[in-house]
Amino acid sequence: MRFCRGWPSRLCHYRAMHVYLLPALQSGPVVIERLVRAISPAHYDLALIADRFTPREVIAHLADWEPIMLARMQQARAQPGSTVMGQDEGEMAIRNGYRASNIDEQLMHFAAKRMETIAFVQSLTPDELPRTVVHNERGAMTLDDQANLLVGHDLYHIEQLSAYLTA
């Protein structure tokens, strides 16, 4: 099946159903880096909308959240039905010093961590995809839900960063 090129054979059915998942996961860091490079460094610390992250903070946020999301997916695989807790993104930004972060280092960290996430997603078997964790704010989330949430999260921040191109 042409949809299965590059995927382990045990995931061929999943690949046919989710033809864009892995390419989208792979593209997220690439597109985000392109956007950052197109934004003037003078705007890295500019918030276009109050209470939203600046470009510098967006990249630090993405770099921080990638391993958290991977850990949640790993937990769903290893301990189906267990609970994961939401986190305060604003508090995390302060605690981890997003405003003073090095945008180049954070871009590299985000891309490297995404590669780990992709390797994990590729290692899943079809019977593992419905395994869940229970998020204390969102409820039950399957491995499939979580992988797709990453794509949506990327797109949310891609839209946010793209606004700087016309600002």
In tens digits, the chain (167 residues) has pLDDT values of: 455 666 566 555 555 557 889 999 999 999 999 999 999 999 999 999 998 999 999 999 999 999 999 999 999 999 999 999 999 999 999 999 999 999 999 999 999 999 999 999 999 988 899 999 999 999 999 999 999 999 999 999 999 999 999 87
Q: Can you give the pLDDT at residue 13?
A: 54
Q: Can you give the pLDDT at residue 1?
A: 45
Specify the residue for token string 């290692």: 123
Residue ranges of domains in the chain: 2-165
Closest by Cα among 142, 117, 134 to 63: 117
Q: Can you give the pLDDT at residue 42?
A: 95
What's the rounded Cα separation, in Å, for the pair 26 and 96? Answer: 25
Distances in Å between the alpha carbon of 133 and those of 16, 45, 74, 137? 25, 35, 10, 12
CB 87 within 8 A of CB 68: yes
φ, ψ of residue 101 to 5 degrees: the values are -70, 155
| pTM for the predicted model, two decimal places | 0.89
What kind of fold does domain 2-165 have according to CATH? Four Helix Bundle (Hemerythrin (Met), subunit A) (1.20.120)
What's the rounded Cα separation, in Å, for the pair 23 and 94? Answer: 32
What's the rounded Cα separation, in Å, for the pair 154 and 28? Answer: 6
Measured over the CA atoms of residue 76, residue 74, residue 141 and residue 25, the dihedral's sign is negative
Q: Can you give the pLDDT at residue 8?
A: 61
The terminus-to-terminus CA distance of the chain in angstroms comes to: 45
Q: Can you give the pLDDT at residue 167?
A: 78
